[in-house]
Amino acid sequence: MRIEPEINAVAIVLLGKFEPTIFTPAWLALIGMLSPRAVDTAQVEIVNAQTSSFSAEGFDVHVTQDSFQVVTRSVPLVRVRDIVLHIFTEQLSYTSVDALGISRVVHFRAENRTARDQVGRILAPVEPWGGIADKLQLDDAGNGMASLTMRQARSAGGQVNVTVEPSTQIGDGSLGIYVRVNDNYQRDATALDGRKELFSILDDGFDESMCRAESIIDQVMSLAEAKQEGSSS
């Protein structure tokens, strides 16, 4: 990447039917996905019939009756794929899964406020806004682009969604940029085993998804650098 992110994460989300009480640090250790020590140091927020939410050994897990999400900010990021495949193809192969999302998330810091704001100006110019364009001029009140999402639909179903926003987690709210690239796949209702197909996509297509996300993120980062180069002349 052009700029080293300060927050670097990968998330995998499944939609379907789940039993939250199954998902605990102790169970993940039992099936070999966490170390025994991680059980003692895990931070458990809640585990009941409706929700399970905890953090352990670099993973954040959140499960409801209709969604499963695991996030990691620890390298190697590919571990998040391995944990999902092990759980749902070897341990819980009967669980109903209807959709898969693979997200790459970064928060990076622009060199200065001008460089950060230039990204918003390139992606969302104010000129087309006519009479309110002058109201959108940048200032400390937070005018300008608050959030932008672009979508690329796939002919086979699903889409790639890219969201760019100012980051509220780094750079004191004035220098950070948040980028999220989400690959979304829907279960093919006409396939004999649409569930198996989703996990084949995760297994075989994870690296491709990460490479695509890296390319998109790199492009957004280049917009911040373009302003830095231009402002020095």
Report yes or no: 75 and 69 within 8 Å, Cβ to Cβ.
Answer: no
Average pLDDT value for the chain: 90
Segment 75-121, tens digit of pLDDT: 899 999 999 999 999 999 999 999 999 999 999 999 998 899 899 98
Average pLDDT over residues 61-78: 95
pLDDT of residue 225: 82
Helix (H) or strand (E) holding 199: helix 194-231
pLDDT of residue 47: 97
Average pLDDT over residues 15-40: 95
Give me the percent of the chain exceeding a pLDDT of 70.
Answer: 94
| pLDDT bracket for residue 139 (50, 70, 90) | low
> By C-alpha distance, which of 126, 116, 123 is closest to 166?
116
> By C-alpha distance, which of 191, 204, 100 is closest to 154?
100
Segment 148-158, tens digit of pLDDT: 999 999 877 78
Q: Looking only at Cα atoms, what is the longest distance across the chain?
A: 62
The Cα 227–Cα 32 span in angstroms is 48
pLDDT at 143 over 90: no
Segment 121-137, tens digit of pLDDT: 899 998 888 888 888 77
| pLDDT bracket for residue 230 (50, 70, 90) | very low
Q: Taking phi first (over 0 means left), then psi (-120 to 50 degrees means alpha), and beta for anything else, what does residue 51 get?
A: beta
